[in-house]
Amino acid sequence: MTGMPAAQRLSPIEQVGPDHRRVLVDLGDRAYPVDVGAGVRRLLPAVVARLGARRAVIVSARPAGTVPDPGVPALRVAARDGEVDKTLANVEALCSQFAGFGLTRSDVIISCGGGTTTDVVGLAAALYHRGTTVVHLPTSLLAQVDASVGGKTAVNLPAGKNLVGAYWQPSAVLCDTELLATLPRREWVNGYGEIARAHFIGAPDLMDRPVGEQIAASVALKAGVVARDERDGSLRHILNYGHTLGHALERVSDYAMRHGEAVAVGTVFAGRLAGALGRIRPERVAEHLDVVRGYGLPWALPAEVDLDALIAVMRLDKKSMGTGLTFVLDRASGPDEASGPELVADVDEALVRATLAAMPRETA
């Protein structure tokens, strides 16, 4: 399935207005639209009316006024973006507020914030009354291109990131590009790491395109993948291109390296490893560096990073079935088009080490 032609992985993008695109995540009777464009958060009352909700709880990590009036009586709850607040205690606290407000299963929960907020509110929605409708208003580039779409929700445990979660699809996602205007540069880099990796798993060339188009195309890719493999059985693994090393870099840097930064370096590495395994030609290996640099992303390993520590963490990667090293790796297009990225298990450690050792390093 991973070898399907890249173009077939993309869901259609409907051009609703000059700067308004819509992608359907086609999960049958759980299908939902992702609207992308300037001002689309103002569709919220229409979305709530379509869902038939009579009340809403709005959990927002953004200033008052970011989330429009949903058109039904609403409780507003303040949240905070960040990994430290992705806890089961916060899920419990949110559910208690839902209950205190008298929220029923046929009402709606609305999240507004970055990916950490959509993750924790999504999990609370999955658990409250065994599943309550949720609408996401993601406000970071990373959350708009990836985290808010596809139904993965999770919180952290002291033992690790995203260890407790559920698949719970939203009923709508509103990616308002106006909300990106004030993001600091590092937040843009965080999102562009995921857009750059999308280049290698079936997205069209998005460099130099308007941000709304970049987001919609990344969402179209993700929607196509999720519609075929909602629960990560096979095809969905490709969304983790560049992530085996990426997650390890985040972890060994104690999350000083942001997700998108780490995925960017991991994407360069994935290209080099595929090249070392003879899966792709040198030009395709070089394309990895060109794309990552083209988006202004980091491409080198941190100066002092310990390769043994990286390898130890990569062995624990959740894509791995055992203790071997598992990567999503590209493979050259053949005449039958049965090519493209796929999960490759038990990659030789000596080759991984040599490829890591040959990676460019930041200067100390």
Burial class (CB in 10 A: 0-12, 13-18, 19+), 307: middle
Asked if residue 150 binds ligand GLY (CB under 6 A), the reply is yes
Q: How far is the CB of 151 from ligand GLY (least distance, A)?
A: 8
Report yes or no: 260 and 288 within 8 Å, Cβ to Cβ: no
The backbone torsions φ and ψ at residue 116, rounded to the nearest 5 degrees and listed phi first, read -70, -35
Using CB under 6 A as the binding rule, whether residue 85 contacts ligand GLY is answered as no
Question: Which residue, 146 or 317, is less far from ligand GLY as judged by CB?
Answer: 146
Beta bridge partners of 78: 60
Name the residue nearer to ligand GLY (CB basis): 142 or 301: 142
CB of 59 to ligand GLY, least distance (A): 21
* Helix extents (H) in the chain: 44-51, 88-101, 115-127, 141-142, 185-198, 211-228, 243-252, 259-276, 282-294, 307-315, 349-357
Can you read off the two tokens belonging to residue 281?
Answer: 């030609």
Kindly tell me which residue out of 239, 245, 314, 329 binds ligand GLY, with binding defined by CB under 6 A: 239
Among 152, 247, 288, 319, binds ligand GLY (CB under 6 A): 152
In angstroms, the CA 144 to CA 149 distance is: 8
Residue 247 makes contact with ligand GLY by CB under 6 A: no
Supply the angle between the helices 259-276 and 243-252 in degrees, to the nearest 10. 130
Q: Which is nearer to ligand GLY, 35 or 146 (CB)?
A: 146
Count residues binding ligand GLY (CB under 6 A): 6
Does position 146 bind ligand GLY by CB under 6 A? yes
User: Minimum distance between the CB of residue 74 and ligand GLY, rounded to whole angstroms?
Assistant: 28
Min CB(236)–ligand GLY separation in Å: 5
- DSSP letter string over 329-343? E-----TT---S-EE
Contact residues: ligand GLY, CB under 6 A: 146, 150, 152, 236, 239-240
